[in-house]
Structure 1
Amino acid sequence: DLREHYEREYEGEAQLGNSEAEEKRKFFFDSLVAETSLQEHLIDQLKMVDATGGQEKACEYLIGSLDENGFLSTALSEIGLLSGLPLRDLQDGLKILQSFEPIGIASVDLQDCLLKQMEARKWEASLAYRIVAEQFPLLVRRRVPELSRKLSQPTHAIHDALKQIAELDPSPGKRFSEDSNQAVAADAEVEKVGKEWVIHLNNDYIPRLRLNKTYKELITKGTLSSKEKEYVRNQMRAGKFLINSIEQRQNTIERITKKILEKQADFFQHGTSKLHPMTMAEVAEEIDVHETTVSRATANKYLRTPHGLFPFKFFFTPGYSGKHGDAVSNTSVKEIIGSIIEQEDSKKPLSDRAIVDILAGRDIKLARRTVAKYREELGIAPTNLRRQY
């Protein structure tokens, strides 16, 4: 086909040393852009600084000593012993490094980092600066009444200062962390057409394979020896097996999707709050395959629904017995906990024990540590950090 034709043509050009083809190849690879690391970002700034050779070496060593937050938590004296670099060069290098972007880089700790950012914004005269500089332990624990009393300020002024502090970056190095976000495409989609739910498989990324007719013709012409015929037949069988395996994969995904649609009908109609417990073993038994087949078929696969794009594994979740004997999935329990906390009085936030009691009133029995675990997974702070004064 045309693709094979152009591939062969390009390979031929490359083998002949065609400079234009090599330029195209180089352009392609040069176009693959990688994220800039924190170290690269700082080294690029170091190249623009007028520094001595000793200061440059010190900066490079300090850059390599930063943690993932961008902090330099090791004392310069210790770094000097480890590196063999003069302490004076390390001190000068640190001053140079702390002048780089992002502001707060190479700070000793979080308090130092926040103060440097506030000084860069000329906030030294603000209440926010006083809180960070003088009452940092109370800030970390969000002790608003105590901050109000120690600084002789009304609670609303303390809240305003906390909002100002929240504008700062507590981890300036984190913005250069490797981006793990990936664009994913749905392997299947469930949508409602009229009154019926319909399943669509995504075949866009499935290779369309066929056996090359040339090999069939070689066997029928009779020009091959018996060993050659056997070899070609084995390769053709392997090719057929691969084609059948790909078709079988799509068929398995479709059957699994049908079972998910059947067992999670309430989810498709109403959303995650109606997700029911379901295991791979149940689905495997009903479609007459081994549980590991379901696991492999759904690994890194995604299903598009009216409520968003979800990994197939999302639908396989254990659960608890709910009110009236209904089964409630872990995901639904998390959503219930999130809803309970959303509706709480911010001046009297609910403790994990209080949430346990509320769930028990709905016939959902959980241990306090389980509620704490789900709350943390939802990214919700503990009681003392949610309290508003």
Structure 2
Amino acid sequence: DLLPAGHSKEDFDKAEEALAVVQSLEPSGIAARDLSECLISQLDSAVPHFDELSTLIRSHLNDLAENRLPQISKKTGFSIELIQELREDLHLLNPKPGAAFLETYVPNVTPDIILEQDESGEYRVRLDDDRVPTLFISEYYRRRLQASDCSDAEREFIKQKINGAQWLIDSIEQRRSTLTRVSEAIVEHQKRFLDEGPEAIEPLKMQQIADKVGVHVTTVSRAVDDKWIQTPRGILPLRRFFVGGTQTEDGDDVAWDTIRLKLQELIDKEDKSKPYSDENLVDELKKAGMTVARRTVTKYRKKMGIPSSRQRRDWSLTNS
């Protein structure tokens, strides 16, 4: 092998020795040069099927990822059942051992709106802004305006400051009012979602709420931005209630969230010896009254982290 310019074989040997020292540290698999080396270094030679596991790691990781078990069987002579058993063992290894040193920061979420039900079951919206101090204009300055020794310049200065302060107080109150009205309109539209769960969420656009409240759509967008609401179904971002959708053949609106839940249900119940292709999923959704394009099914399947039909196939259930 050619060495990099300016480096001797002695330099290369020292680097290899240093790498070996680092790789001997915990956790197993760190400082590996590729995924195969990372996984191999985590294997104990005393484990059952050590040689077979090593073969899969060195030569067939891509085939395993794509669920091409018959090809692996043909190349290695391993049975499908053994390959599946080995794959389960491989899942016990850690492909990213260094991730244990990463710190994940999960901020606490404090709801801005509290949603409660009254005795009749109706939802009531309440702003949770008790932490925000109440603003008011000091009576001292109001009295100062009436004082006989207050000069014209001082009086004009105080008036300007009082007007500015009053404008700020009014703006904050208007913002509170807008957030309350927007929240009430959202809750009214998504009552079925709150009562029945995610599968009952309705398609909703910000323009619909803007029209109902009587404000510009950008006002709605600003009002719900980074705002959270505490509901009987947990603390949710207000933006969670805005979802796109499609129409059924009967002209009914269906939210994308509802389609995603149905998609998950279909895949959970499919025959794993012959999983649904994306085209099959389109047909099954249509039977359920949901007309969706194949590219849309593919898009949402990938977003949901669901593998392709080939990757979902259980080869132990078929002889083909």
Identify unmatched segments of 5+ residues in structure 2.
Answer: 316-320
Deviation at 1:296, TM superposition (A): 0.2
- Counterpart of 1:130 in structure 2: which amino acid? T
Matches of residues 5-20 of structure 1 in structure 2 within 5 Å?
none
Tell me the equivalent position of 2:304: 378
Superposition RMSD on alpha carbons, in Å? 2.9
- Name the structure 2 match of 1:28: none
1:276 to 194, 202, 221: 202
Structure 2 vs 1, CA of residues 329 and 226 (structure 1 numbering), >3 Å: closer, same or farther?
same
The 5 A counterparts of 1:44-123 are: 86-119=11-44
Unaligned ranges ≥5, structure 1:
1-75
Per-residue displacement from partner, 1:55-93 (whole Å, max 9, x unpaired)?
A: xxxxxxxxxxxxxxxxxxxxx966x879xx954543333
Residue 238 to residue 130, structure 1, CA distance change in 2 (3 Å)? same
**2:249–2:291 contact (8 Å) kept in structure 1:** no
The offset of 1:307, in angstroms, is 2.4
Q: Please name the residue that 1:295 is paired with.
A: 221
Partner of residue 243, structure 1: 169
Distance, in Å, in 2 between the alignment partners of 1:90 and 1:234 is 72
Question: For residue 81 of structure 2, what is the aligned residue in structure 1?
Answer: 156
C-alpha distance in 2 between matches for 1:315 and 1:364: 20
- Identify which range, 179-188 or 350-359, moves more after superposition: 179-188
**CA positional deviation for 1:222:** 4.5
Decide whether the 8 Å contact of 1:118 with 1:124 is kept in 2.
no
> In structure 1, what residue type is equivalent to 2:72?
L
- 1:145·1:155 contact (CA, 8 Å) conserved in 2? yes
Structure 2 Cα separation of the partners of residues 81 and 257 of structure 1: 67
Partner residue in 2 for 1:40:
none
Change (3 A) 1:240 1:90: farther
Q: Quick one: distance in 2 between partners of 1:355 and 1:289?
A: 41
SS at match of 2:58: helix
- 1:367 and 2:293 aligned: yes
Task: Look up the SS of the partner of 2:160 in the other structure.
Answer: helix
Distance 1:217 1:101 in 2: 73
Equivalent position amino acid for 2:182 in 1:
I
C-alpha distance 324-221 of structure 1, shift in aligned 2 (>3 A): same
Conserved? CA contact 1:375–1:381, under 8 Å: yes
Query: What is the aligned counterpart of 1:165 among 90, 103, 114?
Result: 90
1:12 aligned residue? none
Q: Render the CA deviation track for 1:293-323: whole Å, top value 9, x for unaligned.
A: 1000000111222223221111112210125
Identity of paired residues, percent? 31
**Kept after mapping to 1: 8 A contact 2:203/2:255:** yes
Task: State the partner residue of 2:250.
Answer: 324
Aligned AA (2:224): T
Distance (Å, rounded) in 2 between the aligned partners of 1:199 and 1:358: 39
2:263–2:281 Cα contact (<8 Å) kept:
yes
Q: Who is 2:259 aligned against?
A: 333
Counterpart code for 2:123: W
**Native 8 Å contact 2:43 2:50 kept in 1:** no
Q: 1:264 to 1:386 in 2, by over 3 A?
A: same
CA distance in 2, matches of 1:171, 1:302: 34
Query: Amino acid of the residue matched to residue 162 of structure 1?
Result: R
Would you say the 8 A contact 1:322–1:362 is kept in 2? no
Once residues 210 and 75 of structure 2 are traced to their aligned partners in structure 1, the CA distance between those partners, rounded to angstroms, is: 63
- 1:123–1:129: 8 Å Cα contact kept in structure 2? no
- One-letter amino acid of the counterpart of residue 208, structure 2: E
CA distance in 1, matches of 2:145, 2:25: 71
Partner of 2:318: none
Aligned residue in 1 for 2:151: 225
* Secondary structure of the corresponding residue to residue 173 of structure 1: helix
The correspondence for 1:356, drawn from 270, 274, 282, is: 282
CA contact (8 A) 1:321 1:363 kept: no
Q: Distance in 1 between matches of 2:168 and 2:47?
A: 67
Shift of 1:349: 1.4
| Kept after mapping to 1: 8 A contact 2:210/2:216 | yes
The yes-or-no answer on 1:216 pairing with 2:216 is no
Distance 1:123 1:251, change over 3 A: farther
Q: Which string of whole-angstrom CA distances, capped at 9 and with x for unpartnered residues, describes residues 29-66 of structure 1?
A: xxxxxxxxxxxxxxxxxxxxxxxxxxxxxxxxxxxxxx
- 1:376 CA displacement: 1.4
CA distance in 2, matches of 1:345, 1:230: 81
TM-score, normalization: structure 1? 0.72
For residues 11 and 145 of structure 2, the distance between their equivalents in structure 1, rounded to whole angstroms, comes to: 78
Larger relative contact order (C-alpha < 8 A, sep ≥ 6)? 2
From the superposition, tell whether residues 180 and 324 of structure 1 become closer, same or farther in structure 2 (CA, over 3 Å).
Answer: farther
TM-score normalised by L of structure 2: 0.86
Shift of residue 179 of structure 1?
A: 2.6
> Residue 305 of structure 1 aligns with which residue?
231
Which residue number corresponds to residue 180 of structure 2?
254
Distance 1:223 1:86, change over 3 A: farther
Query: For this pair of structures, how many residues does the alignment match?
Result: 312
